[in-house]
């Protein structure tokens, strides 16, 4: 046997750390800090190991991509439509739904679309893989172990009534271990969803409900296309926008302050001047 093949993978080693009992983990952290003070490893390494231990206390609901920001494909879409959507969004996997987002029938991997380029008779039904469903309360350490055993990289998160509340990927879990890159656009978790900034603009959390946005700004943004202001902005882009991109919607400018490949986090909102001859 090749010795390299018998070595535990990084996920195996993380799983071993995560399954320690709380008291053992506390003792282990003390040893880590003592080793760090002796300069046996650097601060970044200490942070990663501590992050790996802390995920045992984090439920999936705190890191999932919310339902409103899920990008899905429909079971009745053509292969050409799916290829265009995969190129536009740049995701590697997508939930496949029937009538709505509560009706998840499987998962499509973008790479599975490649055979369809040579075999046009293939349908989406032939390409989708089974989806795994997990409760919102599942702890990230258990989810990481499940991902490792099942070799899945995405799970659909459901609430206590069986409705889909979001999705979570292995990248979302690992980000909790490695850590987010914080910047000047990050909100304090306890801060209001809408925060004024100099110059008559506002920082707005993407998860702010459209109804709450309308109440705060005395406007009438449509709630037909999305429940959150971030979802509404993505709907108008028609894709996942990147940082610093802007869009104008119903008299407001929305600039993306913080986003990654899957989610929009923070927006900079400015009320646009009324056109000439309007409003007096």
Segment among 71-85, 181-195, 241-255 with least mean pLDDT? 181-195
Which position has the higher pLDDT, 167 or 116?
167
Round to whole Å and give the CA distance between 51 and 25: 12
Q: 136: which DSSP letter?
A: T
Q: Which residues contact 28 (CB under 8 A, 6 or more apart)?
A: 17, 20, 53
Contact 227, 247 (CB under 8 A): no
Q: Is residue 75 part of a domain?
A: yes
Q: Same domain, yes or no, for 117 and 23?
A: no
Segment among 41-55, 221-235, 262-276 with least mean pLDDT? 41-55
Look at the alpha carbons of 205, 97, 262, 87 in this order and tell me if their dihedral is positive or negative.
negative
Give the domain extent around 252: 194-271
Q: Same domain, yes or no, for 46 and 74?
A: no
Amino acid 277: pLDDT: 53
Q: Is residue 280 part of a domain?
A: no
Q: Same domain, yes or no, for 174 and 201?
A: no
Q: Same domain, yes or no, for 84 and 153?
A: yes
Q: What are phi and psi of 195, to 5 degrees?
A: -125, 120
Q: Which of the listed residues 123, 143, 178 is the one where a domain comes to its end?
A: 178
Q: Is residue 261 part of a domain?
A: yes
* Cα of 54 vs its chain's centroid, Å: 19
Q: Which of the listed residues 38, 57, 76 is the one where a domain comes to its end?
A: 57
> What is the reported pTM?
0.56
Whether pLDDT at 136 is above 70: yes
Amino acid 182: pLDDT: 47
Domain count, the chain: 3
The enclosing domain of 261 has a CATH number of 3.30.465.10
Whether pLDDT at 213 is above 80: yes
Q: Same domain, yes or no, for 88 and 149?
A: yes
Beta strands across the sheet bearing 246-249: 194-197, 201-205, 264-271, 252-259, 246-249
Q: Same domain, yes or no, for 89 and 28?
A: no
Q: Which of the listed residues 148, 178, 208 is the one where a domain comes to its end?
A: 178
Q: Express each pLDDT in 29-68 by its tens digit.
A: 777 777 777 777 777 677 777 777 777 778 898 888 888 8
Q: Is residue 174 part of a domain?
A: yes
**Confidence band (pLDDT; 50, 70, 90) for 21?**
low
First and final C-alpha spacing in the chain: 82
Which position has the higher pLDDT, 179 or 202?
202
Q: Same domain, yes or no, for 12 and 69?
A: no
């Amino acid at each position: 046997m090749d010795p390299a093949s018998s070595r535990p993978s990084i996920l195996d080693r993380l799983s071993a750390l995560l399954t320690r009992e709380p008291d053992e983990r506390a003792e282990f952290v003390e040893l880590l800090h003592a080793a760090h003070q002796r300069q046996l490893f650097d601060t970044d390494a200490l942070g990663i190991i501590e992050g790996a231990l802390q995920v045992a206390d984090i439920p999936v609901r705190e890191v999932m991509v919310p339902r409103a920001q899920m990008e899905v494909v429909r079971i009745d879409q053509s292969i050409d439509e799916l290829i265009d959507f995969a190129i536009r969004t740049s995701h590697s996997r997508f939930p496949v739904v029937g009538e709505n987002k509560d009706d998840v029938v499987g998962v499509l991997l973008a790479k599975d679309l490649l055979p369809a380029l040579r075999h046009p008779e293939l349908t989406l039904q032939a390409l989708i893989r089974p989806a795994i469903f997990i409760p919102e309360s599942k702890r990230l350490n258990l989810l990481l172990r499940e991902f490792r055993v099942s070799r899945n990289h995405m799970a659909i998160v459901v609430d206590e009534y069986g409705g889909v509340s979001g999705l979570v990927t292995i990248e979302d879990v690992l980000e909790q271990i490695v850590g987010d890159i914080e910047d000047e656009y990050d909100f304090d978790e306890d801060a209001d969803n809408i925060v004024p900034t100099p110059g008559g603009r506002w920082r707005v959390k993407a998860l702010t409900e459209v109804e709450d946005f309308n109440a705060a700004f005395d406007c009438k943004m449509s709630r037909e296309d999305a429940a959150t202001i971030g979802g509404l902005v993505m709907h108008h882009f028609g894709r996942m926008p990147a940082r610093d991109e802007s869009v104008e919607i119903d008299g407001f400018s929305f600039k993306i302050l913080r986003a990654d490949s899957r989610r929009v986090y923070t927006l900079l909102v400015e009320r646009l001047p009324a056109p000439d001859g309007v409003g007096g």
